[in-house]
């Protein structure tokens, strides 16, 4: 994998270079998002039938379960084909829906042609600190490290899945 | 072009560091306590702690003559690690999808 992972305090940035023209690079991301999102990230009680990415400002990104139930976890904020797409991340740190938009982060994916057949794709997931409001309070309320098990459970499960 | 910065996922990719992190998640501990609970030496524990600290997962504070290590209470590190993993997996799948679609078109 050609990737450069760089993390600042409140953002995650990943760059990848793909061997494809920019138009195709953009199209596959927005039209085939269903194929590329890891299926194990599933907040539905049932298996995911598909992930729908509506590539227009005001569109939604949601998972649809095999029983028809939907789980929306993002709002599409801006689409500028084939250069960029920006969407919100409406999940809290425990991957539950965050109903308050002020406490959601956002993801920008930028596409840049390096040559007619090669495209650089930069993904930035920023404003992560917005999810942080109340962490300290929660931490205190639960007593010492008591606020941690939720994270750690997730961590543990994810790491176990990696092994 | 592969340039991983020290990050939470690579830090926790090591089973010993993962074990240390889990012990610290239960409660803060000193280096000696960690060494007594794991089949490694104190210097080895210290080295692993340094990696965890650089990744923003662990913090330390002096208590008397000892240093006590604990999980970094800033949840951002955990969230970042989660998201790094999610987006890395997504982009690897994306690269495969976009390059396969390119082949189909040829």
> Which candidate, A1, A58, A61, places its Cα nearest to that of A31?
A61
* Closest by Cβ to B75, choosing from A38, A95, A135: A135
Size of interface A-B (CB pairs under 8 A): 133
Residues 3-22 of B with CB under 8 A from A: 3-5, 7, 12-13, 18, 21-22
Is A24's CB within 8 Å of B98's CB? yes
Q: Span B53-79, mean pLDDT? A: 79
pLDDT tens digits, one per residue of A29-52: 999 898 888 877 777 778 889 999
**Which residue does chain B place closest to A128, by CA atoms?**
B76
Say whether pLDDT at A57 is over 90.
yes
Please list, in sequence order, all residues whose beta carbon lies within 8 angstroms of the beta carbon of residue A85, skipping any fewer than 6 positions away: A26, A29, A30, A55, A76, A78, A79, A108, A109
pLDDT tens digits, one per residue of B15-50: 898 889 878 877 889 999 999 999 999 999 999 999
Strands, E assignment, chain A: 3-8, 11-18, 48-53, 60-65, 70-80, 84-89, 105-115, 118-126
């Amino acid at each position: 994998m050609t990737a450069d992972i760089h993390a600042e305090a409140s953002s995650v940035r990943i760059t990848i270079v793909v061997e494809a023209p920019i138009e195709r690079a953009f199209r596959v991301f927005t039209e085939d998002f269903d194929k590329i999102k890891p299926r194990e990230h599933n907040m539905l009680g049932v298996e995911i039938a598909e992930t729908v990415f509506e590539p227009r400002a005001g569109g939604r990104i949601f998972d649809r379960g095999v029983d028809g139930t939907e789980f929306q976890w993002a709002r599409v904020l801006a689409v500028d084909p084939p250069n960029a797409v920006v969407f919100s991340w409406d999940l809290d740190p425990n991957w539950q829906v965050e109903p308050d938009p002020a406490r959601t982060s956002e993801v920008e994916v930028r596409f840049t042609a390096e040559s007619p057949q090669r495209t650089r794709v930069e993904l930035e997931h920023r404003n992560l600190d917005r999810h942080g409001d109340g962490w300290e309070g929660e931490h205190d309320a639960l007593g010492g490290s008591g606020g941690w098990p939720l994270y750690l459970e997730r961590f543990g499960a994810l790491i176990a899945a990696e092994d | 072009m592969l340039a991983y910065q020290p990050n939470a996922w690579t830090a926790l990719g090591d089973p010993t560091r993962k074990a240390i992190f889990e012990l610290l998640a239960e409660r803060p501990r000193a280096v000696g306590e960690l060494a007594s609970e794991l089949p490694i030496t104190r210097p080895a524990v210290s080295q692993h702690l340094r990696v965890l600290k650089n990744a923003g997962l662990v913090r330390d504070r002096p208590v008397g003559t000892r240093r006590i290590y604990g999980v970094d209470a800033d949840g951002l590190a955990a969230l970042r690690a989660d998201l790094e993993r999610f987006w890395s997996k997504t982009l690897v799948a994306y690269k495969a999808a976009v390059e396969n679609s390119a082949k189909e078109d040829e």
